[in-house]
Structure 1
Amino acid sequence: MKKLSAGFALFVALCFPVMPAGAAGLSEGIRQIYLQQKDGTEQSIGELVFSAAQHDQFSYKVTMNHHLFKDYFLSMKEMKCLEGPELWCFIPYPYEQPRTVSSEDFRWLEHDLLFMFKKPEAFGANFWNGIYYKMELTENGIRGTAHALDLNLLASPPDDLSQPPVGEFDIDSADLEKRWLPFIEIR
């Protein structure tokens, strides 16, 4: 067998890059969902099960570990919240959706992991204090960074249930220094 020239090896490497280790985050199987504080302290809050769907897509199922959350009755709604410097309340996406992801598109998963924060002493739920974790594939799995979202946007169903209703112009950067759980990881 002939030895490959350095130029040809470089050409192959550029045209056919090796999938990063994080791509394993999109293989079939069970992954843990962690919310992370600024200092890296993390807490597993549930699991995610990936199943092969079509082409480069995977279907998923989220199961939250609800016994970690406390029940709160806020603004006439029962909510499951984590307690800390802020209440971090899980807001399930309320409409039908396909529950699929690909290595380039995590929008449906981002919709299934919505939260709302509030100070423990504040009255009621402030849905404009929504948290939307914008996600990307990393070498260690999937990592999301908190962004601000007015959850009132989801008060009525979108016209097209097959498209994620939250778009890039609906989310804003969040003051990560002020938020208790600014990151999410799935690995």
Structure 2
Amino acid sequence: MLDKILLALALTLVSAAPVAGQSDTRYDVDPDSGLRMERYRAPVPADIPGGITLNTEQAIALWQQEKLIFIDVFPPKGLGPDPLDGHWLIPDERLSIPGAVWLPEVGRGTLTDEAVDYFKRNLVRLTNDKPDTSIAFYCTSDCWQSWNAAKRAIDWGYSAVHWLPVGTDGWLELGAELVAVQPINFFDDSTQQAAALTEAPESQTVTDITAEPAFPDAARIFLIDQQGVELEIGNVVFSKNGPDKSGISVEVDSDQFVDQFLSMRPFKCLTGASEWFCYLPYPYELKNEVTTKELTELEYQLLFIWKSVASFGIDAWNGVYYQLEWQPDGSLQGKLLQGDLNVLASPPEPNSHPIELDEFIAEDAQSRLYPSLIIRP
């Protein structure tokens, strides 16, 4: 119990302020390009250097006066542009500002040469090659891709760049209309027709799980690194209480863990050349029960915090959550999500699960030391 109290205290202290002598990593950008390179779904700065920051009321007023070209850079799920015809292979509809132009993915920290060309030629087309044309970039709230896109346009010489930090979220909060918008074709810059929006081709979809999943008596837990190499870190014992319900007992331990003392608390860490993965035991009481459709209590016992080797201390902002899904072979695959675990600094309501996965992101999972996890007998 004392250990759990110390963990909550450590998380509180870590979340209170940056360590002296360190910058606030929430706003870190690449020192060479000046762009955000990862964790795009995170709090953004208050302004954009060299540009004009708009609140929603200002943006609506300029939209009503037709004084801005609105450019949506929202990054959709899916397979990206079709390599044959440039149509975007995306499964979900995007609701955006009426009259806006959607240029997906141009706000990433690193762009391919083809993506740079796509972005540049569409800016030329939309502004009639007049760099002083007023343009506005947006996405959703807490979206660094809109900040990056605006920064790129400024760096390329556009002198009337506006940025709407709250994006379509702020637009919707004020009751303004959003409409379905189609992405601009990656090759010919035409407006994509709604019929072209599609799921991944059948040959590329994940095989449906037809068999009813079932818990084994026991299973081993493996982290999987960027090269696909597995590292066993523990085990879970299942005590079945019915056809689809089970108690669980989880042990996370490995001789690969290195004891570290970080931010006033001991951690067990897996140390890589540029990044550490430190295990974060959930500090509050759990029921230790799961069903075949509800695996949260198992997921809560597989929490980590990553830290760069160069950083001092540890920051729960860099939380790692593995979201588990059944696989056709009966194993459980963990998809890495990144987000803020500072919520664990305060005790939750009894029998509740305080981590809000809606605030976690799957982007850049492959850049982490262990992008996935698997549990199998």
User: Would you call these one fold, judging by a TM-score over 0.5?
Assistant: yes
- Interval containing the TM-score (normalised by the shorter chain): 0.7 to 0.9
* Alpha-carbon distance change, 113 to 177 in structure 1, aligned in 2, over 3 angstroms: same
**1-structure distance, mates of 2:241, 2:341:** 29
Match of 1:175 among 364, 369, 372: 364
Q: Does 1:59 align with 2:226?
A: no
Q: TM-score, normalised by structure 1?
A: 0.83
**2-structure distance, mates of 1:184, 1:158:** 26
Where does the alignment leave 5 or more consecutive residues of structure 2 unmatched?
Answer: 1-208
- The letter for the 1-side match of 2:260 is Y
- The letter for the 2-side match of 1:80 is K
* Alpha-carbon distance change, 55 to 163 in structure 1, aligned in 2, over 3 angstroms: farther
**2-structure distance, mates of 1:162, 1:151:** 18
Q: Does 1:101 align with 2:290?
A: yes
Q: Does 1:149 align with 2:339?
A: yes
Question: Aligned residue for 1:92?
Answer: 281
- The letter for the 1-side match of 2:226 is K
Q: Does 1:127 align with 2:319?
A: no
- Structure with the greater alpha carbon radius of gyration: 2
Q: TM-score, normalised by structure 2?
A: 0.42
**1-structure distance, mates of 2:226, 2:261:** 28
Deviations 1:30-57 (A, max 9, x none): 1000000122111000011011125621
Contact 2:232–2:254, Cα closer than 8 Å, also in 1: no
Question: Aligned residue for 2:80?
Answer: none
- Give the C-alpha shift of residue 108 in structure 1: 1.0
Contact 2:247–2:288, Cα closer than 8 Å, also in 1: yes
State the secondary structure of the residue aligned to 2:255. helix
- The letter for the 2-side match of 1:126 is D
Question: Aligned residue for 2:221?
Answer: 33
Contact 2:269–2:276, Cα closer than 8 Å, also in 1: yes
Question: Aligned residue for 1:116?
Answer: 305
> Would you say how many aligned residue pairs link Structure 1 and Structure 2?
166
Contact 1:34–1:43, Cα closer than 8 Å, also in 2: yes
Structure having the larger proportion of residues in helix: 2
State the secondary structure of the residue aligned to 2:361. strand
Deviations 1:43-94 (A, max 9, x none): 0000110111256211111111243210111111110001113110000000
Question: Aligned residue for 1:162?
Answer: 351
Question: Aligned residue for 1:19?
Answer: 211
**1-structure distance, mates of 2:221, 2:277:** 15
**2-structure distance, mates of 1:32, 1:78:** 25
**1-structure distance, mates of 2:254, 2:225:** 19
Contact 1:66–1:80, Cα closer than 8 Å, also in 2: no
- Give the C-alpha shift of residue 114 in structure 1: 0.2
Question: Aligned residue for 1:4?
Answer: none
Identity of aligned residues (%): 36
**1-structure distance, mates of 2:363, 2:260:** 24
- The letter for the 1-side match of 2:231 is Q
Question: Cα RMSD (Å) of the superposition?
Answer: 1.7
- Give the C-alpha shift of residue 144 in structure 1: 0.6
**2-structure distance, mates of 1:82, 1:105:** 28
**1-structure distance, mates of 2:360, 2:243:** 29
**1-structure distance, mates of 2:285, 2:344:** 12
**2-structure distance, mates of 1:69, 1:162:** 30
Structure having the larger proportion of residues in strand: 1
Contact 1:58–1:100, Cα closer than 8 Å, also in 2: yes
- The letter for the 2-side match of 1:146 is L
Contact 2:341–2:355, Cα closer than 8 Å, also in 1: no
**2-structure distance, mates of 1:166, 1:175:** 20
Q: Does 1:81 align with 2:273?
A: no
State the secondary structure of the residue aligned to 2:367. coil
Contact 2:270–2:278, Cα closer than 8 Å, also in 1: yes
* Alpha-carbon distance change, 18 to 123 in structure 1, aligned in 2, over 3 angstroms: closer
- The letter for the 2-side match of 1:76 is M
